[in-house]
Amino acid sequence: MPSYRIPNDTRVRDSLVRVFSTRPVVESQRRLKALVEKDLKGDERYRVGEPRLRVLAIESGLVDLEIHTRDTTEMRSLVKCPVCGNRLKKVRNMTVFGGTVTLGYRCERCKYWTGLKRRVPTRYVFTRRS
C-alpha cells in the first residue's frame, strides 16, 4: 500500500499559485485535485480532499469560481453554504401585507445562491483572476 501525506494549507496555497500560473482555467474540481497532487509530488505523494481544496482556492483570491448546479424540488432551509461552508444570507422580499418572505439564500463569499427549491452544486470551474 502506498502511503500519502496530507499537505498543510500553506503548501496547498503555494501549489495553487503554481498551477494557475501555467493555465487560466481548470474545468473541474477533480481536475484541480489531480493537478495539485501532481504538483506537490516529489519523494512523497500527497492527497488533498476536494472540498478542502475548493475552500482553499476560494479563500486564496486567485480564482473566480463558476458553480454549475442541478435543480431539485427539495425544500429545506439552509444555514451553511454547501460550496464553501460560510453562513448563508436569506434573500427576502416584502409582501403586500407588510411582512417579509424568504425567497432563497445566497453566499457572499463564493456567490452560491439558491431559491427555496434547492440548487445542488454539481461541478466547479476555476478561472484565474486577471
Question: SS3 for 93?
Answer: strand
- Site membership for Zn ion, residue 69 (CB under 5 A): no
By CB under 5 A, which span of 10-18, 21-29, 60-68, 100-108 interacts with Zn ion?
A: 100-108
Q: Which three cell numbers stand for residue 68?
A: 454549475
Cβ-based nearer residue to Zn ion, 28 or 37: 28
Rounded distance, CA 55 to CA 110, Å?
9
**Are 121 and 83 contacting, i.e. CB atoms less than 8 angstroms apart?**
yes
The one among 112, 114, 119, 121 contacting Zn ion by CB under 5 A:
112
Residue nearer to Zn ion on the CB measure, 45 or 89:
89
Stretch that binds Zn ion, among 23-31, 41-49, 78-86, 119-127 (CB under 5 A): 78-86
Site for Zn ion contains 26 (CB under 5 A): no
Q: Is 124 in the site for Zn ion (CB under 5 A)?
A: no
Q: Is 111 left (phi over 0), alpha (psi -120 to 50) or beta?
A: left
Which residue among 48, 63, 65, 81 contacts Zn ion (CB under 5 A)?
Answer: 81
Beta bridge partner(s), residue 10: none
C-alpha atoms less than 13 angstroms from C-alpha of 59 in its C-beta half-sphere: 14
- Positions touching Zn ion (CB under 5 A) are 81, 83-84, 86, 107, 109-110, 112
